[in-house]
């Protein structure tokens, strides 16, 4: 059995301000670096093959956590939000009203102007999963909220309309498995990154 664990990058100044980052190459904030420095990778995951999104906030997180240099992986890059990068979701909802609400209701086909859809993010992630797991059995990717949501969609069939089937915590690791038949499933969600963590303390999920 092959496994892929995913971790979201640490906090940035734009996260604190509630701004949409997308492909904007923001770095970890001072608070973000302090936060990541307190995270601990569970022993079961430490020898995984490390990959990271090319965006600085993910690369910096991976370097701090691993103490090494991860493989830079374009497929782990955040969803491109186009013209809406740098804006606040609250402002967009006020300014665009029903137009924005209708766009959000499309789920996987939500499409920021000049950006990409969650469906496109899921497709590039799925292609990477197929490629990387041919060479490696255990992979850890430091990535972004949009990619982890896409992974959950791929694993569960969630169409991103309404709430996700499982609540994701963004200061945790999330593990997925690839079965002998190539099926992509959730293994564990919300694996704590506290100093006393271990994979078995996470939420075990067997959704196919």
Active site residues: 9, 78
Cα 102 to Cα 176: distance, rounded to the nearest angstrom: 31
């Amino acid at each position: 059995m092959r496994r892929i664990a995913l971790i979201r990058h640490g906090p940035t100044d734009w996260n604190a301000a509630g701004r949409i980052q997308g492909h904007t190459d923001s770095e970890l904030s001072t608070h973000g670096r302090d936060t990541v420095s307190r995270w601990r990778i569970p022993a079961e995951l430490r020898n995984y093959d490390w990959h990271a999104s090319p965006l600085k906030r993910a690369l910096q997180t991976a370097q701090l956590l691993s103490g090494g240099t991860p493989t830079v992986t374009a497929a782990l890059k955040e969803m491109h939000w186009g013209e809406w990068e740098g804006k606040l979701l609250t402002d967009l909802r006020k300014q665009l009203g029903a137009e924005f609400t209708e766009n959000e209701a499309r789920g996987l086909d939500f499409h920021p102007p000049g950006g990409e859809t969650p469906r496109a993010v899921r497709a590039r992630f799925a292609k990477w999963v197929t490629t990387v797991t041919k060479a490696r059995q255990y992979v850890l990717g430091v990535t972004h909220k949009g990619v982890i949501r896409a992974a959950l969609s791929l694993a569960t069939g969630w169409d991103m309309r309404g709430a996700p089937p499982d609540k994701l915590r963004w200061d945790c690791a999330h593990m997925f498995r690839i079965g002998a038949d190539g099926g992509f499933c959730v293994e564990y969600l919300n694996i704590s990154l506290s100093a006393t963590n271990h994979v078995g303390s996470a939420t075990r999920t067997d959704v196919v």
